């Protein structure tokens, strides 16, 4: 049976624990969850990671383009950490960056990426799209389309997409499934409209799930109905 190709979108906060930057316990847990899921399923896996644990974007001092460049650079730090943790867990991994960071990560090359994936490597994408004004959600959608992934899994701290923030509104309603048009029209904030639109055009389904519940990543790769599916 051919392996299914999946792109996992992780936030920077996945690595940060209760603070900022990178927490060893959180990083090791992330690697453990990925290894358990990878070992249990026939899957080809790539990862896009954000940088919210290190840098949150433009403020009063740093203007938008410079701030976005800083954010893209911060994703390289997170990607290197994830890749190293995966290697320590016994997996093959390689970091590819949208912009050249000689000596730290390989420049993005679609053909090389696909070859590595087919040979059992977990690819970690860094550097965003290489351009300002694009989120790492849009990067995830773009890379998923470029590598012909069939599904984009967005790891969050909630168990799916809700009508409102369930942490702030106890009356928020969870959606089991949505169309891309519904997700865009409702402006549900779980991913930006550009990411949803790109996935819709490329026919890539999106599943939003709680990565913080142990075993959920393995279960969703195994076909269990977890979270919210947008298709």
Evaluate if residue 211 carries a pLDDT over 70: yes
Q: Name the residue among 30, 17, 15 with its Cα closest to residue 214.
A: 30
Mean pLDDT of 107-117: 96
Q: How far apart are CA 35 and CA 167, in angstroms?
A: 30
The pTM score is 0.94
Q: What is the pLDDT of residue 1?
A: 35
Q: Which two tokens stand for residue 7?
A: 């792109």
Lowest mean pLDDT among 114-118, 149-153, 187-191: 187-191
pLDDT given for residue 102 in this prediction: 67
Residue 59 has pLDDT above 80, yes or no: no
Average pLDDT over residues 96-121: 90
CA distance 111 to 51: 26
> How many residues comprise the chain?
231
103: Cβ–Cβ under 8 A, 6 or more apart, which residues?
none
CA atoms within 13 A on the CB side of 92: 8
* Closest residue by Cα to residue 69 from 144, 128, 6, 8: 128
pLDDT category at 10 given cuts 50, 70, 90 is very high
> HEC states along 23-55?
CHHHHHHHHHHHHHHHHHCCEEEEEEECCCCCC
For residue 146, the model assigns a pLDDT of 97
Residue 83's pLDDT band (boundaries 50, 70, 90)? very high
Q: Can you give the pLDDT at residue 203?
A: 95
Count of domains forming the chain:
1
The enclosing domain of 181 has a CATH number of 3.40.1160.10
Range of the domain at 35: 4-230
């Amino acid at each position: 049976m051919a392996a299914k190709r999946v792109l996992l979108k992780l936030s920077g906060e996945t690595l940060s624990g209760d603070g900022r930057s990178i927490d060893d316990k959180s990083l090791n847990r992330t690697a453990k969850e990925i290894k358990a899921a990878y070992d249990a399923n026939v899957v080809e896996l790539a990862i896009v990671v954000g940088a919210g644990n290190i840098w949150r974007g433009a403020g009063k001092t740093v203007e938008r383009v410079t701030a976005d460049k800083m954010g893209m650079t911060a994703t390289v730090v997170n990607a290197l950490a994830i890749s190293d943790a995966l290697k320590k867990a016994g997996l093959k991994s390689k970091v590819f960056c949208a912009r050249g960071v000689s000596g730290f990560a390989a420049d993005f090359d679609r053909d090389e990426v696909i070859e590595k994936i087919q040979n059992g490597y977990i690819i970690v994408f860094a550097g965003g799209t290489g351009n300002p004004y694009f989120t790492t959600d849009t990067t995830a959608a773009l890379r998923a389309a470029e590598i012909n992934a069939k599904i984009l899994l967005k790891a969050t701290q909630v168990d799916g997409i809700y009508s409102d923030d369930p942490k702030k509104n106890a009356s928020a309603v969870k959606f089991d499934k949505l169309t891309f048009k519904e997700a865009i029209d409702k402006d549900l904030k779980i991913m930006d409209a550009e990411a949803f639109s790109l996935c819709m055009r490329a026919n890539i389904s999106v599943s939003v799930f709680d990565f913080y519940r142990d075993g959920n990543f393995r279960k969703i790769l195994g076909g269990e109905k977890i979270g919210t599916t947008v298709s």
